[in-house]
Structure 1
Amino acid sequence: MAHKMVACPLLWIPATAGFVTLMLFSLVHAEICPLSCTCKPLGEMKGWLVDCSSKGLKEVPDLPVSTRKLYLQNNSMTTVRTGAFDNLHNLEEMNVSDNPWNCDCDILYLKFWLQDFSESSIANVICATPASNERKPLSQLTGNELDNCWKSLPIKCLNFFWRDLALITFAVVVLILTSCALRFSKRLAYQVTTRDYYSAAPLLRKHNLENYMSQ
């Protein structure tokens, strides 16, 4: 009887450890995976496949830092907040197609980020609005086709713009004043030289006459 009482707890240890491990895994998984998405570990790749496709999402959820594959296609997203993907340093695959993207100046973050990430990721991003950009690929839009882009410029950028404009204006004014000063100095030197010449002319003629008479 004593032997059986000792053996039973030993049999419970593996089962208890497995249960605790499963609970910890579930807690960690729930903490890093968005509620609206499905996350799967990629084994040896040490990262996550995060599937948020066809969930009716209107914005990008907070994503696990170790995301390697991200699927956001077929949702209701019109734009992406600035910085939404900045922490995904291990990302290798991404799909954001089949969303009603609003291609105004607010879409610049997504455009630039996808351009740096891969050409294939931005190739399937098609604009839905505004009407002027409807059905146009985001990759082909230029700054002139994105409305009100000046509104999205950071205040610091605008400050730099006005500072540079002031410096350029100051430099142009200095060049103009320098040019005017050089012209004035040349004219003044010419006038002084001409005056000295005509002042010395009578003396020079008298000297030449005296030399002629002496001969």
Structure 2
Amino acid sequence: MSFDPSTFWEQLSSPVYLQGALIAALVALGSLVLAVAIGLVMALLKRSQSKVALASANTYLWFFRAMPSMLLLVICWNALPQLFPLFRGEWYTPFVAAILALGVSEAAYVAEMLRSALMAVDDGQRLAARALGMTPIQAFFKVVVPQATRIAIPSLGNELVALLKLTAIASVISLQELMRVATIGVQATFRYAEYYAVAIIYYLVIVSLIMLAQSVLEKRFRWTSQQARARATVKAKEGVGL
């Protein structure tokens, strides 16, 4: 059986593939947002002086690093509705379950990325902000976060790409993402090369867009970080002069 170009081009422009690619991209993006939110909390707990906070963060990281993503996925889809009535509503779809499972799982890795990014910011920046009268929260969000974000963007970009590929396992809970669309087509026609080639094209396009967005964000936050550092330095010097 030879490669059929007509089948390839027909599927490449198919709305079913486009929808599957969009679902995969949205699941990856939603999972990353959830992972960053949880990971930031874990990163801050890891830097806390409280033994309870530190133990809580270490327990979370230990547990979810040991948990296979596919196992967590089927637990979120099958076990949570069994245990908690909240997850039995119509709102709890495979799409939501996939974001929840992948986000919670990857937060264990994102936490270390964010912790290392926060540690890379010189403590002098935070102290200078405090000397200007900023509260600890203001200093964190206005001075530390922009600089830490610039450091974390490359790692988070790689994490988003990894999450995009992980969305393929969501086919086990019947999520109609890109890989499941290709698999359904293969099962119906046995045209492996054509259907999987289309999936490859879509993955390459999505990853290319992620890399482009990462490059734009790196340039933007590099400039924002430099501006924040310059303002803090100038105000500190003015404060000393006074």
* TM-score scaled by length of structure 2: 0.20
Larger CA Rg, structure 1 vs 2: 1
| Larger relative contact order (CA 8 Å, sep ≥ 6) | 2
Structure with greater strand percent? 1
Structure with greater helix percent? 2
